[in-house]
A and B are shown apart, each in its own frame.
Chain A
């Protein structure tokens, strides 16, 4: 275990360096001048050359990219993600334009949505996949497959608006927009969770069908074990490995913020923040968020690898079957 942690920790470190270097470089290739955009956002419609140069000097934009990157990376190693180009006006208890503060402010909104959406994805996907596999070629299988196809085919933004029009506009069961309460969470979670549920259904079905044909399942049945035990104790458990991989990735995606869902439901989360930062060329904020995204992915996958071992004791953390 210790070896595994050290090895993965080193890999993670290099992955993070690679991701940050790549995004840092790419960001500066994109057209757009943050100095002009920021000054225009302050109401200065035609900033003077002097104003533009002053801004660039204040924010280190006049330095070569490698120098800027090194300074940024040094700051990160010291726990400082830098300052946003745009000043923040927060919740009334103090103002901060620090990238960390802006990110921390958005994390709860995104986390609650990710957890709720994952809950929906598993709540629908898990039973649907199992039932579909157990009734292959029968009505429940067709229903489940059609449902999964629908879930995959419906664009998020369209499904979100549809849910609003059905449940929020005529009946006011749920609010249309905003964040803050359980009622604000239901429609976005369903919107985001449905597509992932569809993937889970199809994946679990395929995995279950494969496992149900394994010899140990036939052995279990021939031993006279009740079907319930055969299915849920032996088949389902062994079908979970591929699901776990995909669920880990899904959780990563969800925690990074579902941009479309956040825009449709006006949820102030990380995805919305990232898009805004990108469009405004707020480089420090983009860089901080991308780093967070990378950290979430590598950490999620790290824990998924550990979970493999728990689900299937034959798998060792060193990558061999025991």
Chain B
């Protein structure tokens, strides 16, 4: 492209002096000045088209190439950046791009499967031995070994000390046993360590990976070629990938934060796959000959959290009444175009440790709700519902204002006056933390792994604080602490699930600290000629290395 433009420029330069200097004497008039300004303006604008790779690779061309050149490349529109600010361990956080990989992997059902570790064994209450997969190569040609695992985990635990609590691990707890064997000693029992290590955050990188971004040496199916923060990342296939040669050869991840623009980019063919498109677009995609929609559950839920420290929501009867008043189905149909699952708790049903099946459905039962309001101390005060209006949070509420209005209407039906306050995310976080100015907070939870932070308040957190205007009696708090600790330390998943379910039951049924609204789903729109993309409940763990693209 640049070659072509250079030729044009040369022709233009060659032609101009003849007309300017040989035919007309050089007497600058205002008109000539204006002509010159106009011409230079146009030339300047045309010059813009010669900007480097960013225009040619991330604009329309990459998407077009995918269709014209068969399986060479694909362009994927994502709602967030591929980079993550302040990433101390990995130069580029491996969300989306599959540059680096962890020891274990959460499959599409959220079960833990071997990945860079081919097996693991719990050898003691706090001891684990991980055996690495043989023959795995880094992008620089070196073999994966125990040293790389030591380097990566120790670096993460040192650079990001908060992960020590998450993994119950210290840098000194990671030891090399043999070339392909690593022993991990937890600081406290951690029966679900492989599940925690399946988070892509704990990926393995080469010890010679340069600090900072852009040069990360991983084992993943793709290598980073080019990165521009908040704009795009281009990756190329790693031919010696242990899982087989990846296809397509090149992937371009384009950050398109605006959902409408993402929808339109997919519709125009500018991108081949678009994540998190508008629920309202689903039918249009289903009717299309060239595109199709895939609906996937997310590991996120949206709920209304009560401030139980201030009137009128310090009254449990009122909190219960609001639970009976709100119809989750109405929220999903009205605000989400039917895309989502009615929630009974906070932990989405897709996760093995969800208490969904054991939690009751409140209703809607307007008569019961009204009766509860009558029996409560509620005296017509205004209940302030605070919601984040931030459009860029995939895990946040979808259509938050409309959702809030549906709740407001449901409350009005039982005689409770709700006022909605929309705030941008930073102000919302602050309000949620302090409880200032709000009785109900439309929030969300992150639930990739079973850890206490996923519950309301961090009862058993190791040195962490969790914001929230929720207070519990000392006895309830101690009981929750003990139950959650038991769940984390339980040796079987069944025992852990029992404990976590009990904790959630206390929060939802006994303390009524929330109105669960829905478990989130997301929609991926894609070219109908694409097969083999594996969409994941965490969205960013989706895999693209076995795709086929047909015309």
A interface list, Cβ under 8 A from B: 30-33, 36-38, 40-51, 86-92, 95, 108, 112, 115-116, 119, 161, 164-165, 168-169, 172, 175-185, 263-266, 268, 276, 279-281
Contacts and interface: CB of A to CB of B under 8 A. Distances in A.
Interface residues of B, number: 66
Contacts of B265: 176-177
B217 to A, nearest CB: 15
A265 B261 contact: yes
A169 B88 CA distance: 40
Nearest to A86: B85
A123 to B, nearest CB: 9
A43 B201 contact: yes
Contacts of B119: none
A177 B86 contact: no
B249 interface: no
Given A38-B85, A41-B86, A181 B48 contact: yes
Interface in B419-456: 423-427, 429-431, 433, 446, 453
Nearest to A87: B86
Contacts of B54: 91, 178-180
B258 interface: yes
Contacts of B247: none
A268 B230 contact: yes
B51, B390, B467 interface centre (most CB from chain A within 10 Å): B51
A178 to B, nearest CB: 5
Contact of A86 (B86, B256, B461): B86
A38 B86 contact: yes
Q: Which 7 A-B pairs have the closest CB atoms?
A: A180-B55, A32-B426, A182-B49, A86-B85, A181-B55, A46-B464, A175-B60
Contacts of B229: 88-90
Interface in B448-498: 453, 458, 461, 463-467
B147 interface: no
A164 B268 CA distance: 9
Given A43-B201, A48-B463, 11 more contacts: A32-B427, A33-B433, A45-B446, A47-B162, A95-B214, A161-B260, A172-B269, A179-B55, A180-B49, A182-B46, A182-B49
Nearest to A108: B51
B212 interface: yes
B464 A48 contact: yes
B26 interface: no
B48 A279 contact: no
Interface in B219-233: 226-231
Given A48-B465, A90-B229, A177 B261 contact: yes
A32 B427 CA distance: 5
B45 A115 contact: yes
Contacts of A265: 261
Interface string B273-304: 00000000000000000000000000000000
Contacts of B429: 32-33, 36-37, 40
A274 to B, nearest CB: 13
A37 B425 CA distance: 9
B41 interface: yes
A42 B84 contact: yes
B87 A266 contact: no
B261 A116 contact: no
A156 to B, nearest CB: 13
A298 to B, nearest CB: 24
Nearest to B85: A86
Contacts of A50: 463
B59 interface: yes
B302 to A, nearest CB: 16
B152 interface: no
Contacts, number: 183
B254 interface: yes
Given A46-B461, A177-B270, A116 B45 contact: yes
B258 A266 contact: yes
B59 A183 contact: yes
A165 B212 contact: no
B160 interface: yes
Contact of B162 (A48, A161, A177): A48
Contact of A31 (B45, B85, B431): B431
Nearest to A280: B426
Given A33-B429, A48-B464, A182 B48 contact: yes
Nearest to B464: A46
Nearest to B42: A119
Nearest to B431: A31
Contacts of A44: 160, 162
12 contacts: A33-B433, A89-B214, A112-B44, A165-B264, A175-B270, A177-B261, A178-B231, A179-B55, A180-B49, A183-B59, A184-B59, A266-B257
Interface string B157-200: 00010100000000000000000000000000000000000000
B463 A169 contact: no
Nearest to B466: A46
A184 B92 contact: no
Given A119-B41, A265-B261, A279 B269 contact: no
A200 B137 CA distance: 63
B203 to A, nearest CB: 13
A286 to B, nearest CB: 12
Contacts of B231: 178, 268
A112 to B, nearest CB: 5
A38 to B, nearest CB: 7
B264 A47 contact: no
A37, A44, A169, A266 interface centre (most CB from chain B within 10 Å): A266
Contacts of A95: 212-214
B268 A168 contact: yes
B408 interface: no
Contacts of B230: 268, 276
A239 to B, nearest CB: 16
Contacts of B426: 30-33, 37, 279-281
Contacts of B46: 182
A106 to B, nearest CB: 10
B68 interface: no
A90 B540 CA distance: 21
Contact of A90 (B84, B228, B261, B465): B228
Nearest to B93: A43
Contacts of B463: 48, 50
Given A92-B227, A182-B45, A184-B59, A263 B258 contact: yes
B256 A279 contact: no
Nearest to B269: A172
Contacts of B92: 89
A87 B230 CA distance: 12
A213 B471 CA distance: 76
Contacts of B269: 172
Contacts of A36: 429, 433, 467
Contact of A176 (B48, B213, B268): B268
A48 B213 CA distance: 26
B10 to A, nearest CB: 18
B264 A176 contact: yes
Contact of A91 (B227, B390, B424, B433): B227
A90 B367 CA distance: 58
A179 B231 CA distance: 9
A79 B463 CA distance: 40
A49 B48 contact: no
Nearest to A182: B49
B48 A172 contact: no
Contact of A115 (B44, B424, B430): B44
Contacts of B51: 108, 180-181
Interface string B80-123: 00011111100110000000000000000000000000000000
